[in-house]
């Protein structure tokens, strides 16, 4: 069976290595809520980005045999606004427990397939200041 696309997991530590220029803030504003805002310049690897989605993964046990294949519990497009400089912005709020399992997916269409950067939200979460 042929794959229809590729997903690259991105963490705070691997963002620069992947050459991705975005700004992501996730602030825990209460024990129950995290406010998220992201700015994504459509340049470099993200110049052909066509969609931004939110995915919530199920809790899975660690795998010793490599990556685990899963279908998200929730996958939904996020509303984006575009500045005059071509920067896409998204913002949303979600429950703290869901933020730990959330990724923001930056989708880039390719001929007959897709390519996606799955930005793991949990490493970007800071407490309210």
Q: What is the mean pLDDT of residues 81-109?
A: 93
pLDDT band for position 67 (cuts 50, 70, 90): low
CA distance 57 to 61: 12
Tokens representing 14 are 């691997």
Stretch 76-102: mean pLDDT: 93
Q: pLDDT-based confidence at 69, cuts 50/70/90?
A: low
Q: Give CA–CA dist 68/80, Å, rounded.
A: 30
CA distance 16 to 91: 22
Residue 14 sits in a domain whose CATH number is 2.60.40
Mean pLDDT of 12-20: 93
Q: How many structural domains does the chain have?
A: 1
Domain of residue 71: give its range.
5-127
CA distances from 111 to 4, 49, 114, 129 (A): 10, 13, 8, 45
Share of the chain above pLDDT 70, in %: 88
Give 70's pLDDT tier (boundaries 50, 70, 90): low
Q: Residue 115 — very low, low, confident or very high, per pLDDT cuts 50/70/90?
A: confident
Q: For 25-64, what is each residue's pLDDT tens digit?
A: 999 999 999 999 999 999 999 999 999 999 998 876 555 5
Q: Are 55 and 92 in contact (CB under 8 A)?
A: no
9-21 burial, b at 16+ Cβ within 10 Å, e below that, comes to ebeeeebeeeebe
Q: Percent of the chain scored above 90 by pLDDT?
A: 66
Cβ neighbour number for residue 22 with a 10 Å cutoff: 18
| More confidently predicted of 12 and 71 | 12
């Amino acid at each position: 069976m042929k794959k229809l696309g590729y997903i690259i997991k991105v963490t705070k530590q691997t963002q620069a290595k992947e050459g991705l220029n975005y700004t992501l803030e996730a602030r825990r504003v209460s024990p129950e809520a995290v406010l998220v805002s992201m700015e994504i310049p459509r340049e470099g690897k993200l110049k052909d980005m066509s969609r931004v989605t939110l995915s919530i993964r199920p809790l899975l046990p660690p795998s010793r045999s490599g990556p685990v294949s899963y279908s998200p519990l929730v996958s939904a497009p996020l509303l984006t606004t575009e500045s005059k400089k071509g920067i896409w912005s998204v913002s949303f709020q979600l429950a703290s427990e869901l933020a730990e399992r959330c990724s923001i997916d930056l989708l880039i269409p390719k001929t007959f397939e897709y390519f996606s950067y799955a930005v793991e939200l949990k490493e970007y979460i800071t407490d309210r200041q």
